[in-house]
Amino acid sequence: MSETRGPTLFIDADACPVKDECYRVAARHGSQVYLVSNRRIGVPRDPQIALIIVDEGLDKADDWIAERAVPRSVVVTADIPLAARCVGSGGQAVTPKGEILDESRIGMALASRNLMTDLRSAGHETGGPAPFTSADRSRFLQGLESAMRRAARAPA
């Protein structure tokens, strides 16, 4: 990547299965990428890709990202409360499976997440997430591209 001209891309990086896809889309848009983690992870040597290591602790990475999410930013995360914080600041959020969480969808996503949390707390087995597939990867690329274009049109 060279000159930054596109939206800023934040990646909730600890368990993100689509980092390579993020790098490719960000390069196409000329975007700065921030991978935020509480541990060291491998990242490409590129001036437009930065690894941010936050302190250990609950929500430290989420707080770092949410404090910087603005209308010209996109956040890649499976963390629905983090996505809600970013959308509330005008940013875009995309899950690793390609779901765009925007103003019209974030309320339902939070309600579903809270319901599942309550069911698990009550002792109900809810199962885990479905395995990540190549179809998920394809949906992610489409969702990320759409979110990046929308963020690029947002006022600076």
Distance CA(90)–CA(150), nearest Å, equals: 11
Indicate if the pLDDT at residue 151 is higher than 50. yes
Q: Is residue 3 part of a domain?
A: no
Host domain of residue 24: 8-102+136-153
**Least-confidence region, from 7-11, 28-32, 33-37, 124-128:** 124-128
pLDDT in tens, 49-92: 999 999 988 889 999 999 999 999 999 999 989 999 999 999 99
Q: Where are the alpha helices (DSSP H) in 80-133?
A: 80-88, 106-121
Q: Is residue 81 part of a domain?
A: yes
44 three-state secondary structure: coil
Q: How many helices (H) and strands (E) does the chain have?
A: 5, 6
Q: Is residue 57 part of a domain?
A: yes
In the sheet with 100-101, reading across from the earlier edge strand, the strands are 49-53, 33-37, 8-12, 73-76, 92-94, 100-101
pLDDT at residue 48, as a whole number: 96
pLDDT at residue 2, as a whole number: 42
The percentage of the chain sitting over the pLDDT mark of 70, rounded to a whole number, equals 84
pLDDT at residue 1, as a whole number: 39
Structural domain count, the chain: 1
- pLDDT-derived band at 102 (thresholds 50, 70, 90) equals confident
pTM to 2 decimals?
0.84
Average pLDDT over residues 86-113: 82
Q: Is residue 90 part of a domain?
A: yes
Look up the CATH number of the domain holding residue 90: 3.40.50
Q: Is residue 40 part of a domain?
A: yes
Pair of tokens at residue 34? 């921030």
Distance CA(77)–CA(58), nearest Å, equals: 16
Indicate if the pLDDT at residue 155 is higher than 50. yes
Place of tokens 């989420």: 62
Q: Is residue 52 part of a domain?
A: yes
